[in-house]
Amino acid sequence: MSLLELEQLDARHGLLQAVRDVSLAVEAGETLALVGANGAGKTTLLRTIAGAHRPSGGRIVFDSRDVTRLSAHERVRLGISLVPEGRRLFPELTVEENLRISAAAGRTGRWTLDEVLETFPLLAPLRHTTAKSLSGGEQQATAIARALLTNPRLLLLDEVSLGLAPIAVEGVYAALRPLFESDATVVLVEQDLSRAPSVATRVVCMLEGRLVLAGAAGELTREQVTDAYFGLARA
């Protein structure tokens, strides 16, 4: 059953069309990896789904409800949560304060402060540390924990590994693995072509705002994904 359906979705930045005629269904319980080069439209697509960017055309349907015109905070209450590129934490607030603000704005459910601190044990000793004092990996873990505390039905993860040292990336993905292996529904934007298929059930590639390749993660070859990523499949 589709939890999310995009129907001929368009999104612009002024005169630039960043997302072009995207139609896509995300099934409940799947992890969808959305890959593509810089400028392919991945971040704009996630922001549009989350309500942080207004579409210029098309529809967004979540759990059979048209949410195209709903605000971001209304979508959070329905169960859509975004971990944005760049984390976007409140720098002067502590880890715990950042998390509690998110919990207050979200839905009740499995994810509590104690649960996310158990999932991300590196955060427990940092709970009274300001966000601006954290390393990149610690900030990313905080941003993901913050999103989980809204108890999302759909979690949108934008560029989880961006700007992180390899050891920090390993730590973040290790913490996320139980989530990927659960019945959670996740859309993961990632540029790392080896990392994304390893955690996803399905891979979709964007190029110049369009979807150019889609398939089960275990069935697509690296060559197919690479060709779509660089636009070689159209030659």
Domains and CATH numbers, the chain: 2-234 (3.40.50.300)
- Residue 205 pLDDT > 90: yes
Q: What is the mean pLDDT of residues 159-167?
A: 85
* pLDDT for the residue numbered 235: 42
Task: Point out the least confidently predicted range of 64-68, 122-126, 144-148, 189-193.
Answer: 189-193
State the chain's mean pLDDT as an integer: 92
* pLDDT for the residue numbered 183: 84
* pLDDT for the residue numbered 18: 97
- Residue 48 pLDDT > 70: yes
If you count them, how many residues does the chain have?
235
Other C-beta atoms closer than 10 Å to the C-beta of 81 total 26
More confident residue, 96 or 105: 96
* pLDDT for the residue numbered 153: 95
What's the rounded Cα separation, in Å, for the pair 228 and 210? 11
What's the rounded Cα separation, in Å, for the pair 91 and 130? 6
* pLDDT for the residue numbered 155: 96
Q: What is the mean pLDDT of residues 194-211?
A: 92
What's the rounded Cα separation, in Å, for the pair 5 and 140? 28
What's the rounded Cα separation, in Å, for the pair 34 and 200? 9
pLDDT in tens, 58-102: 999 999 999 999 999 999 999 999 998 877 899 999 999 999 988
